[in-house]
Amino acid sequence: MTSKVKVGGHLSIRGGYAGAAKTASLMGAGAFQYFPKNPRSLGVKAFDPRDAEKCRVWCKENDILSVAHTPYPSNLAVDSQKDPEDYRRIVESLRNDLNIAEACGSIGIVVHFGTSKAGNPLQGYKNVIQCINEVLRDWSGAAKLLIENQAGDHGDMGMTMEEMTQIRKLCESPEHIGFCLDTCHAFAAGVWQGAEDNSFVEKGHKLGFWEEVRVIHLNDSKYPLGSRKDRHARVGHGYIGEAGFRKLLTALDTRDKAFILESETGEDGTYKRDMEQVSLWAEA
């Protein structure tokens, strides 16, 4: 356990990747998340490598962790046989995201586990593995593909640590795969019970889950435990509450992990207040 947790929020790249990094510094953040391109569409962005390099250098010099979040339409569980065009676009988009993250010196790209239309659950998992293998084929960069757990609002897939660790094991390049834990999703899915949970962290260690977690989305939940609703609240302002976050943060080794706030900002339009709270809870 370190005395300082690297926490920050999701920031706009309206001023470029370097601009987002500098905004993080102004807030006193130790980490930040950004969309590498338009979050609503799949496409290949011709990004400015000079801007990305400035972001990388700034983050290195100021000891800031950055992470990219892939566009919302990215779906690892797409069926390459039934939806070949969507599959191609998703693979090309994710590879583009990896290249941007690598250029920016980011930890990697966060992508949701995926939603399958296949009637057979096993086929859905096969689709996820196939897509990840295609995206990572011949990839030699330091940026990782970071699988994020899901709340269960779009189906049963991707809610558990067992699924995430097993998918990683079955992929061709597990060394390029890590995890992103979303606390709201875990709570909504019923796999983490917040302050009342005495087994979640230990179970994660037994599965080898925490060792591969690079990013934690610190989101409270606007709905009760097991609701399967992906609705974020500010940390300490929802059903997880301060006690739940305190218990999780003090139980984890926070070193080299980026803690990202994805809820609304405070009254001043920044994440400063929530960042201060998280730092205090982690040091308790």
- The predicted-structure confidence for 174-195, as pLDDT tens digits, reads as follows 999 999 999 999 999 999 999 9
Q: What is the pLDDT of residue 283?
A: 85
Task: Tell me how far apart the alpha carbons of residues 204 and 161 are, in angstroms, rounded to a whole number.
Answer: 7
- The predicted-structure confidence for 225-234, as pLDDT tens digits, reads as follows 999 999 999 9
Residue-averaged pLDDT of the chain: 96
Summarize the confidence of residues 217-231 as an average pLDDT.
98
Summarize the confidence of residues 24-33 as an average pLDDT.
96
- Residue pair 104/54 in contact (Cβ under 8 Å)? The answer is no
Q: Is the dihedral of CA 140, 214, 279, 220 positive or negative?
A: positive
Report residue 42 as tokens.
Answer: 């799949």
Summarize the confidence of residues 208-234 as an average pLDDT.
98
DSSP, collapsed to helix, strand or coil, labels residue 76 as: coil
Task: Tell me how far apart the alpha carbons of residues 182 and 112 are, in angstroms, rounded to a whole number.
Answer: 10
Summarize the confidence of residues 26-35 as an average pLDDT.
97
- The predicted-structure confidence for 111-136, as pLDDT tens digits, reads as follows 999 999 888 889 999 999 999 999 99
What structural domains does the chain harbor? 7-283 (3.20.20.150)
Q: What is the DSSP letter of 153?
A: T
pTM of the predicted protein model: 0.96
Summarize the confidence of residues 218-238 as an average pLDDT.
97
Summarize the confidence of residues 163-174 as an average pLDDT.
98
